[in-house]
Amino acid sequence: MNSSFQFTCQACCTDSQARAGVFSTPHGKVETPRFMPVGTLATVKTVTPQQLQATGAQMILANTYHLHLQPGEQIVAGAGGLHKFMAWNGPILTDSGGFQVFSLSELRKITENGVTFRSPRDGRIIELTPEKSIHIQNALGADIIMAFDECPPYPATREEVELATERTYRWLKRCISAHQREDQALFGIVQGGVFLDLRQEAAVSLRELDLPGYAIGGVSVGEPSELIEKIVRATAPMLPAEKPRYLMGVGTYREMVQAIAAGVDLFDCVIPTRWARHGTVVVGGERWNLKNARFREDFTPLDESCDCYTCQNFTRAYLCHLVRTREILGYTLLSIHNITELVRFTQRIREAIFRDSFTEDFAQWLAPTPSSL
């Protein structure tokens, strides 16, 4: 692996497992803990790369399965890789397509060799194996690539989860053998459903493979937040302290604070742009629906304390107007604010860890029943 991949822990919380660090990649550094916006199809929806950079985002995501369907990894590779194709100069992480094993359950068949999908786009049959996933990701050229895994649903029996977890480990070893590029870091994914002993056993097995980073997968797939918290709290400390830890598919304030307290460094979620497309924004930890009539004649900024482009230039009344008339600019402006808000939230946590005031400053999110997001 390229020596430019390195994780350095800079500060630790004395009252929890929270830590602040820096993860170095060939396309720049990521200061942790950090929220990462999702750009499934090589675009964070409605936001330009320049606008995205202004939000404070440092690393973004793209999806292997969807980019394989359209436009195809050969086209992306022909453009010089994902970074050039989408004009994003910072670090990029690609999901393996393993989540589609879960989300497209009615369109796929799992075998030991891999997964056969019926494309929801045109109905053609697609076979995705660990080797194929890595081949696609090698062609896409992201800095961080994920191992192909089987994400069991919730609820599932212990036997079903055990089989999926064991298969995920076997697939990981095939991913390692197939991986061809030293300028890409391959992360393994810990599965195990809601069974903490399976999670811990999987974490120990993956740790022995000495990978450049580790992810906790298979959460936020339908289980209650209390179970997510227990899973993360039991799993994260089992992963190497000298490597970055990534919690997949999580992005609410409470989930991130709880996970950071357990020692997690990186997060991703589609909610900033998804909420924006439904007229929803995050302000001070609360979710607001800007379609609400109370905003129609409110000529104050969305959030006076926010320095994002949206809050510095537009009123709540204007944003309400855009949302009500379904103007595309509204989706862009709300996405800019929501992404800025989540990135800034993790930046504030990072600063609190350096002050060793994390558990005090974010106590409301560490409490068993928080009052908001």
Q: Considering Cα of 36, then 41, then 45, then 46, what sign does the dihedral take?
A: positive
Alpha-carbon dihedral 172, 31, 33, 280, rounded to 10 degrees: -100
- How many Cβ atoms sit within 10 Å of the Cβ of residue 122? 9
Instruction: Kindly list the catalytic residues.
Output: 95, 268
Tell whether 191 is in a known binding site. Answer: yes
Q: Is 151 annotated in some ligand binding site?
A: no
337 is in an annotated binding site: yes
- Residue 116 CA to residue 242 CA, distance in Å, equals 36
Q: Do 290 and 323 form a contact (C-beta atoms < 8 A)?
A: yes
The Cα–Cα gap between 27 and 83 comes to 9
How far is residue 124 from each of residues 97, 114, 130, measured CA to CA in Å? 17, 17, 20
133 is in an annotated binding site: no
Q: Is 68 annotated as a binding residue?
A: no
According to the annotation, is 183 in a ligand binding site?
no
Secondary structure (DSSP) of 20-57:
EEEEEETTEEEEESEEEEB-TTSS-TT--HHHHHHTT-
Instruction: Note whether 319 and 312 are within 8 A (CB).
Output: no
Question: Known binder of ligand: residue 311?
Answer: yes
In the chain, DSSP assigns E strands to 6-12, 19-25, 28-32, 34-37, 60-63, 92-95, 108-110, 115-118, 125-128, 144-146, 185-190, 213-216, 245-247, 266-269, 280-283, 286-289
- 303 annotated binding-site participant: no
The reply to whether 97 sits in an annotated binding site is yes
Residue 13 marked ligand-binding: no
The binding site for substrate consists of 95-99, 149, 191, 218
Output the known binding site for Zn(2+): 306, 308, 311, 337
Q: Binding site: what residues are annotated?
A: 95-99, 149, 191, 218, 306, 308, 311, 337
